[in-house]
Amino acid sequence: MNHQRVARAVVVVTGAYVLVLALWLTYFVGGSPEGTIGFQVMSLVCVYGSALGLAMIVAGRPSRSDRRLERHGLEGWATIRSATPIAHTVDNGEITELDLDLTVPGSESYRGRVVYEVSPEFARAFEPGRVVTIRVDPKNRDRIVLCP
């Protein structure tokens, strides 16, 4: 998960919500019929929650270039030589540096390193000696995406 993109999404949606709330307080709350302000506040909070959820879903998706690489990249495999934990993430995952032997059919094997967030439920799939599927950019063999 790209935590920076999610944080930016939260900041943008919250900023827009504060702006809408300020406009509502300035221009609309005074002319509201008696007894409807509570419903208006609940509506504003519900819209904020919905917008925040949608923004976080969109921010959590892979980037456009990664999605394109997953669709059009050359399929290959990688044997994990070593997995070195670097840091823990807030969602209980682990940022891990993977040292890989990369193989793409039709070309020679080569070594590479990838920094990847490994979630606890998939930790066994990234142990040394395991093989994972990869997609390689045909124009730049150093650009790969793991497809566990």
- Domains of the chain, by residue range, sit at 3-61, 65-147
Residues contacting residue 133 through CB under 8 Å, at least 6 positions apart? 75, 76, 77, 78, 146, 147, 148
pLDDT at position 87: 92
Alpha-carbon gap, residue 101 to 108, rounded angstroms: 11
Alpha-carbon distance of 105 to 65, in angstroms, equals 22
Convert the pLDDT of each residue in 61-111 to its tens digit. Answer: 888 888 899 898 999 999 999 999 999 888 788 999 999 999 998 889 999
Classify the C-alpha dihedral 116-122-126-131 as positive or negative. Answer: negative
pTM over 0.75: no
Q: Extract the tokens encoding 115.
A: 């920094």
Reported as half-sphere exposure (CB side, CA atoms, 13 A), residue 88 has a value of 4
Distances (CA, A) of 145 to 30, 93, 113, 141: 55, 18, 11, 11
69 to 52, 72, 75, 138, 146: CA distances (angstroms) = 28, 5, 10, 9, 10
3-state secondary structure of 112: strand
- pLDDT (0 to 100) of residue 3: 78
pLDDT in tens, 2-15: 778 899 999 999 99
Q: What architecture is the 65-147 domain classified under in CATH?
A: Beta Barrel (2.40)
Give the pLDDT score at 111: 93
